[in-house]
């Protein structure tokens, strides 16, 4: 049992400094989000899932996901696909980009992923899942991990059959979100399955799903024997949730602190994605940051309608003037960015 979330643990030779992992989330887990997660206590951060086909075909936007900053480590980059050879090649590029861990998505329930034989589809094809895992683990020197759901249909226990086989094929750790693919995010995560999986494998298991507080994280670790918990949606626009889960510090941020973190996040995202892409990407974050009663609801709508991120920053500073000083205290991003040998201009930002 691991009761102290501030303890370090290991994925093979990679030391993870706390027992909280920031989940890979499509359309969310950009570099700015990961860096913020590390500052607020996440021991391991993950990229959003990257298509192995996009890497294979050198898709510009896909390759942009392989940017690695020096202050992100330890970092897992997550890949998905259904062809063992293509996944192995993608893993080589991910490792070359500087990832500490190559994670594979065997749980995404979205149709455009499963219809290609990837994501949650692999829960119904354990032989292919094992071939992919063996190919990827053999291709890279860094640890390879797998994130999966309980199965495709409600009540499935496919994860308990597949998990030990993935470890035999080379997986150094497993993440289990014990909802079915058909459940998406409805119902609840059945962590009794997580406990069963822990008893079946001799590698670390990360418990994902419904971890929203320090007390909940402690109870999940105690009940399952998992090595760590994964936090996803609860950290969207709310890095203070990570601090509370890791350290048990539950003080709500001031309006100035919220504005300062959002301003920093906006600027870092623009640096990463460029103004045009960042402007649209950031709109969903305004509601996440400004919710929880922190700002009046109409204020979020006002920000969404502004035409540039500079205008957003100006409006935030007007609403919370004290944020300006706090922004200056937030550490700047590390200079190190590895770009797989490609010029930075290819990403339209940075």
Active site residues: 108
What number of other Cβ atoms are within 10 A of residue 338's Cβ?
A: 14
Could you give the C-alpha distances from 178 to 15, 163, 165, 231, in angstroms and in order?
Answer: 25, 12, 18, 14
On the question of a cis peptide bond just before residue 74, with omega within 30 degrees of 0, the verdict is yes
**What residue spans of 177-229 are helical by DSSP H?**
191-200, 214-224
Backbone angles phi, psi at 273, to 5 degrees: -105, -15
Helices 283-290 and 297-305: crossing angle, nearest 10°? Answer: 160
What number of other Cβ atoms are within 10 A of residue 67's Cβ?
A: 23
Q: Which helix (H) or strand (E) holds 230?
A: strand 228-231
Per the structure block, which two tokens stand in for 160?
Answer: 């308990």
Question: What separation, in Å, do the N-terminal and C-terminal C-alpha atoms of the chain show?
Answer: 43
Q: What angle do CA 59, 64, 67 make, to 5 degrees?
A: 140
Torsion angle in degrees (nearest 10) through CA of 176, 177, 178, 184:
-150
């Amino acid at each position: 049992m691991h009761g102290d979330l501030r303890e370090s643990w290991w994925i093979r030779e990679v030391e993870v400094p706390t027992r909280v992992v920031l989940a890979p989330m499509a359309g969310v887990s950009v570099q700015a989000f990961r860096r913020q997660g590390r500052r607020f206590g996440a021991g391991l951060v993950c990229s959003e899932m990257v298509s192995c086909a996009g890497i294979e075909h050198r898709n510009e936007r896909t390759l942009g996901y392989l940017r690695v900053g020096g202050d992100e480590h330890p970092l897992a980059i997550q890949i998905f696909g259904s062809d063992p050879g293509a996944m192995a090649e993608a893993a080589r590029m991910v490792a070359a980009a500087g990832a500490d861990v190559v994670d594979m998505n065997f749980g995404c329930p979205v149709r455009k992923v499963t219809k290609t034989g990837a994501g949650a589809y692999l829960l119904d094809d354990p032989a292919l899942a094992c071939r992919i895992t063996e190919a990827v683990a053999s291709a890279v020197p860094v640890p390879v991990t797998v994130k999966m759901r309980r199965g495709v249909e409600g009540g499935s226990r496919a994860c308990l059959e597949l998990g030990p086989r993935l470890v035999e094929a080379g997986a150094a750790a497993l993440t289990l979100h014990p909802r079915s693919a058909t459940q998406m995010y409805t119902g609840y995560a059945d962590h009794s399955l997580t406990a069963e999986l822990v008893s079946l494998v001799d590698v670390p298991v990360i418990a994902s799903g419904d971890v929203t507080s320090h007390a909940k994280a402690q109870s999940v670790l105690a009940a399952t024997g998992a090595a760590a918990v994964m936090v996803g949606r609860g950290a969207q626009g709310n890095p203070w949730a990570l601090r509370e889960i890791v350290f048990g510090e539950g003080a709500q941020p001031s309006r100035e602190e919220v504005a300062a973190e959002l301003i920093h996040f906006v600027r870092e995202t623009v640096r990463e994605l460029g103004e045009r892409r960042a402007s649209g990407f950031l709109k969903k974050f305004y509601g996440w940051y400004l919710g929880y009663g922190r700002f009046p609801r109409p204020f979020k709508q006002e920000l969404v309608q502004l035409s540039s991120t500079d205008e957003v920053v100006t409006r935030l500073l007007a609403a919370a003037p004290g944020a300006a000083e706090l922004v200056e205290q937030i550490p700047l991003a590390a200079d190190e960015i590895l770009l797989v040998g490609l010029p930075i201009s290819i990403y339209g930002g940075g």
